[in-house]
Structure 1
Amino acid sequence: MPNPSVKNHLQGQTSPYLLQHVDNPVDWYPWDEEALARAQEEDKPILLSIGYSACHWCHVMAHESFEDSETAAVMNQYFINIKVDREERPDLDQIYQLAQQMLTGRPGGWPLTMFLEPIKQAPFFGGTYFPPEERHGLPGFKDLLQRVAEYFHTRREAIQSQNERLLDAFGDLDARLPAAEVEGLNRAPLQAAHRQLAQAFDSRHGGFRGAPKFPNPSSIERCLRDARGEHLTEDEKQQALTMARLTLEQMAQGGIYDQLGGGFCRYSVDEEWRIPHFEKMLYDNGQLLVLYRDAYRLWGSGLFRRILEETGHWAVREMQSPEGGYYSSLDADSEGHEGKFYVWTREQVRALLGEEEYALAARYFGLDQPANFEGYWHLYAATVPEALAQEMKVPAPGLQEQLTAAKQKLFAAREARIRPGRDDKILTAWNGLMIKGMAAAGQALAQPVFIASAERAVDFVRAHLWQKGRLLVSYKDGRAQHRGYLDDYAFLLDALLELLQVRWRDGDLSFAVDLAEAVLERFEDKAQGGFYFTADDHEILIHRPVPLMDDATPAGNGVLAWSLLRLGHLLGEVRYLKAAESTLKAAWKSIQQTPHAHCSLLKTLEEWLIPPQIVILRGGGEELETWRAVAAAEYAPRRVALAIPLEAQDLPGILGEYRPQGTAVTAYVCSGHTCSAPLTRREALKEHLATQGR
């Protein structure tokens, strides 16, 4: 056990992940000038350990190695040990994950364990999780430490040579072309991406490829948008719809979704979505709320509506701070065991429910089948309510009421358990994703609680994480820190544009313009096109990436270019449109190589080729809201609709030209460079939208 009297250099940090290690016997430092200087002065390699608080295997390695005094003594003797929260320092995580893949030829992950030379902080060896003793083909960590230390001091020339090759390889990673060299953009990558996604699609269980299976929100969104695009045949459009719907249905019915409390886990360890890696991340749930909103608009499914309601209430109940910002994640573990909070025995369920209720719940949740998680049952929807009602010969409404009652009893009992840990730092980028998700869900459901939740988060970010014209990354315990990255600006700008379509606030539009101007000033590569992940005054690291490909979150360049394109069309601001176009051209080579990995940039490409439909409503009161509902009633991914009240003043750009006609609501509809005459009848707006496409 760690000695509670021993404190290391992580004291005073706010990151819950770093503070989990403050009592380790390891002499941990945060990534700072003191640690880097000491490594150079003592000529010691740096042991860099990157993880996050909800990471199960990070906890395992901490318990096995970092809490062990003998292992810590070796670490302290031979290394300067630096612990990094990947959520606070995604710049470091991106760089060293890439380096790990280059050095080992294997995918990265967390915990990430890298050994760096002290001068340039270039890595010379690395991996992810290492066990305390040799097993499963992995060396024991303590033995590995001694071998790495010896290698560092005896093979300096080899390390230097390898580092030079590695740094050259980082330079080769930039797949951009100078924007001026790209003659034209076309729809070919949109068509190719559909073919690639269709090839990878699991036609039985939904999702892409086999286990482990991640939600891949950007890919699902691409499928939905394909169905409304102009680049596919009718058969291909139907195929895209089927891919999206099956995936969203299977996820909603699977164990990756919390069937009692709402919200999605990070991924499924099996191809059927049944057993998750139990951590819940804010970024997944924000993106999935938008997708289920779109699916609900398309199909009107009661299942999709329920997912929106339950996940939105989960976010308000468990993830929103009293101050307004959203927390980062819920741990996979409770009481030292992964998933313990979520799993059941049959006896536990039977004790809570009546006999008839239990028979119903057992069939619905798969309790009548063998245990599916380490001798316990993790709940998933083994059937659908309609089929179960037919099978049990009961009316569907009555069965649904019984199911709801059973869920409520199980949820109440689960609430009395020891909860998983919560990472309660507030991250700007992830708040942007959840603000957009809550705004989308609130609009689709006409749920003011969700819209108000999104507003509170915006107000929190603006009050605490927007300082002197710059965003900061993270907030906890009254402290905001770390200058913002590209994702912070891109995701928040995107969220503001979504929220403005749900309800109008003058301050949100001005905030969006301020974000756009700040990111253009600090992040844009004006010579080659595109945007760096770090600002122009950021700490100099071994690589300055320009992220183009989507990951668990969409690429910052894709989201930003999309947002600049929409804001540029709304305001008539040519600089924003040109920055988006330059980003597409700079990324064109990379997009053509792997189209399906660039879905957020493909969304921008699609809207660059066919400009969005802009609907501006001017009026007041309840009548304005009924017109807004008309514009938002269907799935129309290329439509931007703003309902601006009569009292809105000093509208920027061309928005000021859309004036109300007296006190009645007036609609202006523009597609590309053509605008309709002002529409003053709601039925006329419906007819116009029906004939002008979506």
Structure 2
Amino acid sequence: MKGGTDRDGDKGGVGPKHTNRLFKEQSPYLLQHAHNPVDWYPWGQEAFSKAQAEDKPIFLSVGYSTCHWCHVMEVESFENDQIAQLMNDWFVNIKVDREERPDVDKVYMTYVQATQGGGGWPMSVFLTPDLKPIVGGTYFAPEDKYGRPGFKTVLKRVKDVWNSKKDALRESGDQVLQQLAEATSAVSTSQDLPEALAQQAVQLCANQLTRGFDSKLGGFGGPPKFPRPVEIALMLQRFKRLEQNGNQSSANKTLDMSLFTLRCMARGGIHDHVGGGFHRYSVDEYWHVPHFEKMLYDQGQLVNVYLDAYAISKETQYAAVARDILDYLRRQMTHPEGGIFSAEDADSAEFHGAKRKKEGAFYVWSSQEVEEILGKERAAVFAAHYHVKPDGNCNLSRMSDPHNEFVGKNVLIERQSLTETASKVGHSVEDLAEILGRCREELFGYREKRPHPHLDDKVIVAWNGLALSAFSRASRILRMEPESEKYYFPVTGCDPKEYLAAAEKVASFIRSRVYDEKAKRLYRSYRKQVSAAPGFLDDYAFLIAGLLDLYEAGGDTKWLSWALDLQSAQDDLFLDKTGGGYFSTPEGDPSILLRAKEDYDGAEPSGNSVAGINLLRLSSLLWGDKSEQYQRTAEHVMTVFEARVREVAMAVPLMCCAFDMLAAQSKRQIVIAGVKHAPDTEALVNAAHCLYDPDKIILQIDETDAATQEFWEVNNPMALKMARRSDEGKALAYVCQNFTCFAPVSDPQSLEKLLKSPPSAAGKVSTFKLGSSAK
């Protein structure tokens, strides 16, 4: 097997026929191509110098190790000796892992999207020796078909045009890059964000999303259906604003769209019912037949929106899905020292010893297999609930299996509720849930014996930041679950405190393995050793967000101190201090020809959106000049994306959330004063987390702890002064709005009641004001 980790243990006995320079790399994707007959180079000066010395164009291929169509192009073209010979004769060939080098990917994906109207992976771009784009695309079949040129034809055309029109190609590349730089490096025209736009941003985006809502099957658009958690996050924030304004009917409609979508996704085949976690997307409208790869960035974000759904609805079905994902990550995707691996492949061998892999082979089932594993009686119950059919079930839509790859196979999907199934099979709902859980566990055990999909065991900082946030928030929000609640495999049913321990291990892994303490700089990733690539904006922003959530959950100021160090580094490396906004990449690498300010909140949120929210949270946590500085920076960042929000808000839902947070009339700071981890303190911290509130920030202050005292003395002495007022050693909670604090409460019920009150509710205030306005 090639690259990374294929956990089926089948390594074969014949040595490789070819070996190229990629065999020295750490990236699983590059290692997958180390034995192609193509003379691949990694991105770097050796390749650039060769292209310049020989005056050859560069063929750049960008992908990632769990990319299905990357595998297809490798098999069809890069393992083909004839095509490899053409590539080696005419081009200098470079392979890039887009997860390891998102800076390289961003430059040329921007070009491909601008010139082709869309993009994807594998990305195939031809460059001049000085790295200017000539022509680009995505997957190319080896031969001409369906009126499209094949890869052989494209290679010959580019070679011929290069030989006859080099100067024109170079000039064209210069012009294209200049245009792209102007389009992607927008600057603010004002330091002030229009108040009306900030207040309306979430509404604008919600209105646009609502127009595309699928009322029958969930989601905000047609197939293929991607789980885009930022859309749900936006809709939940809109729900909260409508509720706060007394418009309960509209609030309920907005909430219903979000909850319905989350339920449809959880019941669909995009959800791995046997092993937990979610696949990348479904090819059909039913959330049924997925593209089977599993990406860490999906898992972390999905946990957070399911947690929000649970906090709002108090329905344990949403808590169960959050646990399902987290337990999958702990069971299948965690480095022994705590970091979370990046992805699992869509493809795997159908049986041990098979030379070729097939998409979904690890995950699909025949009806006969299910019956042999579970026995006839239980298999009938299982089949009734998960829509298992003797002739296969991948025919719900004409889009589900257009190439007849899954004939006779079943992708598990819940087409009915437990209650409906229970009435049909003659069991109680409780008994049925237990039976199905045991069935899933037995199927999991059987599935584990199959050849596993390739595991990309890179630990990427940005994606670990998303997971860190998920584990941290789950450790508190899930403590409100009823003690009587029962969970069944693949949910472990652990004490939520275990999720806090997992979060701390993630943070410790990143700090010890991927962070330079002396320089206060991050690297991008870790696999056996730290990557050469630096940390990018999303690495800093996503990790800072995760650390803020970890602090709010656990109360340890060391994570907050680290977040402040990272924010300072982020500002030094990426902030456009004149024009506003953050560049995605640091300065200093001459091979990166374009520094863009990313704004699209897609499968992953934009670094600028997350950074804007981080700055507002930090401003609420701190006091004095630092608080005001973070507030000003947030405003300046957001002014860069004002036009984007006005014109196409649904492209930037998380940025719209940041605008909304900036305009929020009342930001709630909840100060918990008490001995850390003491029962009375814990009860108040749990209560502070139990309600959905996008405006709240939680400060845990233990005045008996020297490190905590030192941190707050420097960063928010007013909050520390308040914490010292706790009576008789009893934990107290202060709820502060607009820098004015209500009288403290000491029991969780009173705190919950106070938090449920409208932001404008009157109450007896303390004599202390919290925040920069108290200077």
Does 1:246 find its partner at 2:260? Answer: yes
Does 1:166 find its partner at 2:176? Answer: yes
**Which residue identity does 1:293 align to in structure 2?**
L
CA change 1:659–1:399 in 2 (3 A) is same
Partner residue of 1:65? 77
State how many pairs are aligned.
Answer: 692
Instruction: Measure the CA separation in 2 of the matches of 1:340 and 1:306.
Output: 26
Please, which of 359, 364, 374 is the counterpart of residue 343 of structure 1? 364
Listed one character per residue, the Cα deviations across residues 451-481 of structure 1 (whole Å, up to 9, x for unaligned) are 2111101000011111121010011113333
Show the 5 A alignment for 1:452-467. 452-467=501-516
Partner residue of 1:278? 292
Contact 2:181–2:596 (CA<8 Å) still a contact in 1? no
Instruction: Measure the CA separation in 2 of the matches of 1:442 and 1:195.
Output: 33
Listed one character per residue, the Cα deviations across residues 92-129 of structure 1 (whole Å, up to 9, x for unaligned) are 1112111012222x31000000001112x111111111
* Matched position secondary structure for 1:222: helix
Does 1:365 find its partner at 2:386? Answer: yes
Moved more, 541-550 or 674-683: 674-683
CA change 1:222–1:370 in 2 (3 A) is farther
Listed one character per residue, the Cα deviations across residues 43-101 of structure 1 (whole Å, up to 9, x for unaligned) are 11110000000001101101111111111111011101000000011111112111012
Contact 2:267–2:414 (CA<8 Å) still a contact in 1? yes
Partner residue of 1:48? 60
TM-score of the aligned structures, taking structure 2 as reference length: 0.87
Listed one character per residue, the Cα deviations across residues 662-687 of structure 1 (whole Å, up to 9, x for unaligned) are 41112222122322234345444233
Instruction: Measure the CA separation in 2 of the matches of 1:175 and 1:509.
Output: 31
Contact 1:561–1:583 (CA<8 Å) still a contact in 2? yes
Partner residue of 2:651? 597
Partner residue of 2:446? 413
CA change 1:236–1:683 in 2 (3 A) is closer
Instruction: Measure the CA separation in 2 of the matches of 1:44 and 1:598.
Output: 40
Partner residue of 1:331? 345
Q: How far 1:235 sits from its partner (Å)?
A: 3.8
Contact 2:674–2:723 (CA<8 Å) still a contact in 1? no
TM-score of the aligned structures, taking structure 1 as reference length: 0.96
Does 1:687 find its partner at 2:753? Answer: yes
Please, which of 634, 638, 642 is the counterpart of residue 588 of structure 1? 642
Q: How far 1:616 sits from its partner (Å)?
A: 1.1
Q: How far 1:138 sits from its partner (Å)?
A: 2.6
Does 1:613 find its partner at 2:673? Answer: no
**Which residue identity does 1:280 align to in structure 2?**
K
Give unmatched runs, 5+ long, in structure 2.
3-13, 350-356, 395-405, 480-495, 761-775
Contact 1:179–1:582 (CA<8 Å) still a contact in 2? no
Q: How far 1:349 sits from its partner (Å)?
A: 0.3
* Matched position secondary structure for 1:616: strand
Please, which of 332, 338, 359 is the counterpart of residue 318 of structure 1? 332
Please, which of 480, 483, 502 is the counterpart of residue 534 of structure 2? 483
Q: How far 1:399 sits from its partner (Å)?
A: 1.4
Query: For the aligned residues, what is the CA RMSD?
Result: 1.9
Moved more, 337-346 or 153-162: 153-162
Contact 1:179–1:583 (CA<8 Å) still a contact in 2? no
Partner residue of 1:33? 45
Contact 2:181–2:595 (CA<8 Å) still a contact in 1? no
* Matched position secondary structure for 2:409: coil
Q: How far 1:136 sits from its partner (Å)?
A: 3.0
* Matched position secondary structure for 1:669: strand
Partner residue of 1:257? 271
Listed one character per residue, the Cα deviations across residues 140-169 of structure 1 (whole Å, up to 9, x for unaligned) are 212221111111111224323422331232
Q: How far 1:369 sits from its partner (Å)?
A: 7.2
Contact 1:473–1:483 (CA<8 Å) still a contact in 2? yes
Please, which of 648, 658, 674 is the counterpart of residue 722 of structure 2? 658
Partner residue of 1:676? 742
Show the 5 A alignment for 1:504-543. 504-539=555-590, 541-543=592-594
Instruction: Measure the CA separation in 2 of the matches of 1:278 and 1:218.
Output: 21
Partner residue of 1:633? 690
| Percent identity for Structure 1 against Structure 2 | 37
Please, which of 513, 522, 533 is the counterpart of residue 471 of structure 1? 522
Q: How far 1:510 sits from its partner (Å)?
A: 0.7
* Matched position secondary structure for 2:226: coil
Q: How far 1:407 sits from its partner (Å)?
A: 1.3
Contact 2:212–2:220 (CA<8 Å) still a contact in 1? yes
Q: How far 1:437 sits from its partner (Å)?
A: 1.2
CA change 1:193–1:440 in 2 (3 A) is same
Does 1:227 find its partner at 2:239? Answer: yes
Contact 1:176–1:590 (CA<8 Å) still a contact in 2? no
CA change 1:459–1:299 in 2 (3 A) is same
Instruction: Measure the CA separation in 1 of the matches of 2:111 and 2:126.
Output: 11
Give unmatched runs, 5+ long, in structure 1.
none
CA change 1:118–1:642 in 2 (3 A) is same
Contact 1:185–1:585 (CA<8 Å) still a contact in 2? no
Please, which of 558, 582, 605 is the counterpart of residue 609 of structure 2? 558
CA change 1:3–1:28 in 2 (3 A) is farther
Partner residue of 2:621? 570
Contact 2:191–2:635 (CA<8 Å) still a contact in 1? no
Partner residue of 2:544? 493
Instruction: Measure the CA separation in 1 of the matches of 2:222 and 2:146.
Output: 22
**Which residue identity does 1:345 align to in structure 2?**
S
Instruction: Measure the CA separation in 1 of the matches of 2:390 and 2:261.
Output: 23
Contact 2:200–2:660 (CA<8 Å) still a contact in 1? no
Q: How far 1:531 sits from its partner (Å)?
A: 0.6
